A and B are shown apart, each in its own frame.
Chain A
Amino acid sequence: MKRNFLSISVAGAVMALSSLTVLSAGSVASASSLTSVKFVYDFPGPDMEIIPVVVAQKEGFFKANGLNVSVEFPPTTSSTTQLLTTGSGDIGFITTSDMAVAVQAKAPVISVANYSMSNNWGLFAKPGSTLTLAALKGKKIFSWGDTWTNAMIPFVLKKAHLKASDITIVTGSNDTPLLMKGTIDFTTSTTNYAIPGITEATKSAPVGIVGAAAGVPNVPVWVYAVTHNYANQHGKNVRAFLKAIKAATIWASNHQTKAVADFMAAYPKSGYSKFYSTKGWALTVPLLTNAAGKYFVQTNKQWTTLATALKSVKLLKSVPAPSTYYTNKFLP
């Protein structure tokens, strides 16, 4: 779902170390009065979706809520939940499908807020290509190999009336060069990552089929999550974190140029250009609120829809009560 896994991983490791160093140096004076919280991102390196956290750090929203938040980057795209359960992180950023499989594996985690409110995942192709569900047969489709992509592809096949053997799934660490070279026909991603990436490489917007048009359930993609233990013992921190993040998200939505500048300053070696981050954040902002303009709010319906959908493609064995997945009690 995100680009150039290898280079970003290396950059992420460097960034994580340097950000920790900067944070620890800069917060010596105020460290005693602030509560430390470790935020674990969903990807081994920073990208524009982390902007609300960066803005909350840089523009003082965390400090105003009594928090000193440090950012950790996981070693792989699927280790955030494990880092939370082992106590290496306090608040995590994961996909809703990660949340669903974590609950199935009896990992004691719970989603405390939606990050995005709708499903902007889909298939993308080079500008000028023909991309329809009918055109998928016999094609090479790129996958990041993450749980979300694994969960979504069966829905696309179902809608296209195809079997898994009708397409070739190519799993790798960077889709854009393969797409440009024609080694793959289509890639899978979300709009806020695919459009900036392909546009930057080709100077024109890609073609894509997204969300319902691709046959995927309309559910939020990313959530903030904590362990039950952390929620019970440090509910105050969770509430303060979400309050700060909400204020930062609104600020970053209203001051997009400054928000991206904050991100670029915090992670100058992220591997992403200003163009990519600016376009990506602009495409992310509309995803952050629901139809009523509200941030974060989770519903029974979204979790039941997701669990039912994942059960239908055999990624879940059963559909548990939606309350198993989430709580809205920490929302500001």
Chain B
Amino acid sequence: MTKKKLLLNIFGPILSVVVLVGLWQAIVVWGNVAPYIAPKPWDAIKAVTSNWSTLAPLTWWTIKETVYGYLTGALLGAFLGVVLNKIPLMQRVLYPLLILTQAIPIIALAPPLVMILGFGVMPKVVIVAWIVFFPVTVSVLDGLNHVDKDLMTLAKVFGANSLRRFVVLEMPAAITQLFSGLKIGATYAVTGAIIGELAASSGSSLALYQRSASGSLDAAGVYGTTLIMTAIGIIWFLLVVGAEYLATPWQRRSTARQWRRGAKPVLTNN
């Protein structure tokens, strides 16, 4: 990566956030927006820092719901993608059902889940998994369906069994697509957790804290909570991007590192 590209990668996102915050500040100040309607950015941040002792456990709870649900959805989605690819009959039978699951409004799904699973972490995990599994399944299925047929035939000719073909050819071919699905799921996961919290929660939660702040016309508290929720989503997305970076080295190098090729490193005396 050139120095110019690296700087752009670092400062580009920072600049866009600065512009966004500046726009927010300008609208509130020049628009004479009352503090109980919309706070200045700094007031929203202050609402978080000054109430952090209350918000920290709630944030941790939402993170747990998001992570548990995300991992469940991702694993289920990847598994389903493989199963649908390997068993064409299943694809014909299950694919319409998968689409049906996504046509159900999540907001309508939440109350019955609470009735069945109670007020704890479970309904939130199910809602997040419900949101995440579909893009993952579709991505994996797409990736597996587009493996080079000639390569598959060649591997067969060389005597590679179906497991070997899956590990050596199909999995690497599907992994880029898999990460597309995982990234889409990462951005929506926190939304699922918040919808679950709003449907019913025992004790408190970020969503209920926000609702309570809204009821008290504490706009700084409402926006501050939104900042936390957004941060959870962004951090989770970045973690998935990081995992993709590590899992798909061929996207950055056209050849594998020497140690991966089995060659001895070239030693120089310089």
The A interface, classified by DSSP as helix, strand, loop or mixed, is mixed
- Indicate if the CB atoms of A145 and B37 lie closer than 8 Å: no
Enumerate A1-59 residues with CB–CB distance to B below 8 Å.
6
Closest 8 CB pairs of A and B: A172-B200, A105-B217, A147-B215, A78-B215, A105-B36, A101-B216, A170-B202, A78-B214
The reply to whether the CB of A270 lies closer than 8 angstroms to some CB of chain B is no
- Taking CB atoms, residues of chain B closer than 8 Å to A140 are 202
- Indicate if the CB atoms of A78 and B211 lie closer than 8 Å: yes
- Indicate if the CB atoms of B202 and A168 lie closer than 8 Å: yes
- Taking CB atoms, residues of chain B closer than 8 Å to A85 are 34, 36-37
The reply to whether the CB of B6 lies closer than 8 angstroms to some CB of chain A is no
Task: Provide the bound-state CA to CA distance between A146 and B213, in Å.
Answer: 10
Chain A's closest residue to B205 (CB) is A171
Interface centre among B35, B107, B214 (most CB of A within 10 A): B214
Task: Provide the bound-state CA to CA distance between A178 and B216, in Å.
Answer: 27
Task: Provide the bound-state CA to CA distance between A146 and B111, in Å.
Answer: 18
The reply to whether the CB of B95 lies closer than 8 angstroms to some CB of chain A is no
Given A81, A145, A183, which contacts B217 in the complex, CB threshold below 8 Å?
A: A81
Given A77, A101, A173, A315, which contacts B111 in the complex, CB threshold below 8 Å?
A: A173
Interface size of B in residues (CB-CB distance below 8 Å): 25
Enumerate B19-59 residues with CB–CB distance to A below 8 Å.
34-37
**CB of A137, distance to nearest CB on chain B (Å):** 16
- Indicate if the CB atoms of A86 and B215 lie closer than 8 Å: no
Given contacts A145-B211, A171-B200, whether A82 and B216 have CB atoms under 8 Å apart is no
In addition to A78-B211, A147-B216, 7 A-B residue pairs with Cβ atoms within 8 Å of each other are: A82-B37, A82-B217, A101-B217, A105-B36, A107-B34, A150-B215, A171-B200
- Taking CB atoms, residues of chain B closer than 8 Å to A202 are none
**CB of A105, distance to nearest CB on chain B (Å):** 4
**CB of B108, distance to nearest CB on chain A (Å):** 7
The reply to whether the CB of B180 lies closer than 8 angstroms to some CB of chain A is no
The reply to whether the CB of A318 lies closer than 8 angstroms to some CB of chain B is no
Chain A's closest residue to B217 (CB) is A105
- Taking CB atoms, residues of chain B closer than 8 Å to A77 are 215
Task: Provide the bound-state CA to CA distance between A174 and B214, in Å.
Answer: 20
Task: Provide the bound-state CA to CA distance between A174 and B199, in Å.
Answer: 9
Chain B's closest residue to A81 (CB) is B217
- Indicate if the CB atoms of A107 and B199 lie closer than 8 Å: no
**CB of A183, distance to nearest CB on chain B (Å):** 7
Given contacts A98-B215, A102-B217, A107-B34, whether A183 and B199 have CB atoms under 8 Å apart is no
**CB of A315, distance to nearest CB on chain B (Å):** 7
Task: Provide the bound-state CA to CA distance between A6 and B112, in Å.
Answer: 12
- Indicate if the CB atoms of B37 and A177 lie closer than 8 Å: no
Interface bin, chain A: 20 to 34
B interface residues (Cβ-Cβ under 8 A, vs A): 34-37, 107-108, 111, 114-115, 118-119, 198-203, 208, 211-212, 214-218
Task: Provide the bound-state CA to CA distance between A183 and B119, in Å.
Answer: 9
**CB of A273, distance to nearest CB on chain B (Å):** 19
Q: Mark A155-179, 1 if CB is under 8 A from B, else 0.
A: 0000000000000111111100110
Task: Provide the bound-state CA to CA distance between A170 and B91, in Å.
Answer: 41
- Taking CB atoms, residues of chain B closer than 8 Å to A147 are 212, 215-216
- Indicate if the CB atoms of B199 and A145 lie closer than 8 Å: no
Task: Provide the bound-state CA to CA distance between A54 and B244, in Å.
Answer: 59
Task: Provide the bound-state CA to CA distance between A29 and B96, in Å.
Answer: 52
The reply to whether the CB of A289 lies closer than 8 angstroms to some CB of chain B is no
Enumerate A103-159 residues with CB–CB distance to B below 8 Å.
104-107, 140, 145-147, 150
- Taking CB atoms, residues of chain B closer than 8 Å to A172 are 111, 114, 119, 199-201
Task: Provide the bound-state CA to CA distance between A317 and B215, in Å.
Answer: 16
- Taking CB atoms, residues of chain A closer than 8 Å to B114 are 172, 178
- Indicate if the CB atoms of B215 and A146 lie closer than 8 Å: yes
Task: Provide the bound-state CA to CA distance between A104 and B201, in Å.
Answer: 28
- Taking CB atoms, residues of chain B closer than 8 Å to A107 are 34, 36, 217
- Taking CB atoms, residues of chain A closer than 8 Å to B108 are 6
Task: Provide the bound-state CA to CA distance between A169 and B97, in Å.
Answer: 37
- Indicate if the CB atoms of B201 and A82 lie closer than 8 Å: no
Task: Provide the bound-state CA to CA distance between A171 and B197, in Å.
Answer: 9
Task: Provide the bound-state CA to CA distance between A82 and B212, in Å.
Answer: 15
The reply to whether the CB of A300 lies closer than 8 angstroms to some CB of chain B is no
Enumerate A75-92 residues with CB–CB distance to B below 8 Å.
76-79, 81-82, 85-86
